[in-house]
Amino acid sequence: MTTHYIDITLLPDPEFSHAHLLGALVAKLHRVLVQGQNTDIGVSYPQHTSQPLARRTLGVVLRLHGTPEALQRLMAQDWLKGMRDHTQVAALRPVPADAQHRTVRRRQFKTNADRLRRRRMQRKGETAEQAAAAIPSSVERRPDLPFVQLRSSSTGQPFCLCVEHGPLLTQPIPGTFNAYGLAHEATVPWF
């Protein structure tokens, strides 16, 4: 159960954008969660907004959720090395008693028909025409969700981690979180 939280706020930097710093912060968090095989740390982005002009930003605050023990264990590791000049880490605090809850999950989209066709040609040995017939351009979707730009540690390829905030709920739903601190069913407090 996520009873406590820690806010990590990105500080203004003349050399790096908030988007770049958030990507670096999320990548570091991902690595430490993978190494520790943590499934008890959730994240949220409390400055996420659905305003049309700011829709695709997650804001400058990464909020970690968990039990006091799980959060203290995470913060005892030196995973913020290299980010300390770019962040302000708040103290561990209890979640407000009247907080609502919501899921914060990853959404993946098939966004590039050409890439999908090339993959199909490699996997199935098809010609470009066969792959184009099997994968029409209509499969492409343009996500309008906020995202953080990351780089795959296995392939080195850049990708967008799109984040979707679910509806507000009055009761928490327990569960586990993935190596990005996201979950399809488990909720985090929202306040």
- Residue 190 token pair: 């929202």
pLDDT of residue 153: 76
pLDDT at 107: 86
Structure token pair of residue 9: 């706020």
Kindly state the helix (H) or strand (E) to which residue 127 belongs, with its residue range.
none
**4-108+164-190: which CATH architecture?**
2-Layer Sandwich (3.30)
Question: Mind listing the pLDDT tens digit of every residue in the chain (191 residues)?
Answer: 799 999 999 999 999 999 899 999 999 999 999 999 999 999 999 988 655 555 578 999 999 999 999 999 999 999 999 999 999 999 999 999 999 999 999 987 666 777 778 888 888 999 988 888 888 776 665 567 788 888 887 788 888 898 999 999 999 999 999 999 999 999 999 99
Q: Which pLDDT score, from 0 to 100, does residue 117 have? A: 83
Measured CA to CA, the distance from residue 9 to residue 63 in angstroms comes to 8
30 is catalytic: yes
Annotate 99-126 with b (16+ C-beta within 10 A) or e (fewer).
bebbbbbbeeeeeebeebbeebbeeeeb
Tokens of 179: 């190596």
Strands (E), 127-167: 147-151, 158-165
Cα within 13 Å of Cα(28), Cβ side? 19
Residue-level pLDDT at 139: 65
- Among 30, 48, 65, 165, the active-site one is 30
Q: What are the domain boundaries of the chain?
A: 4-108+164-190
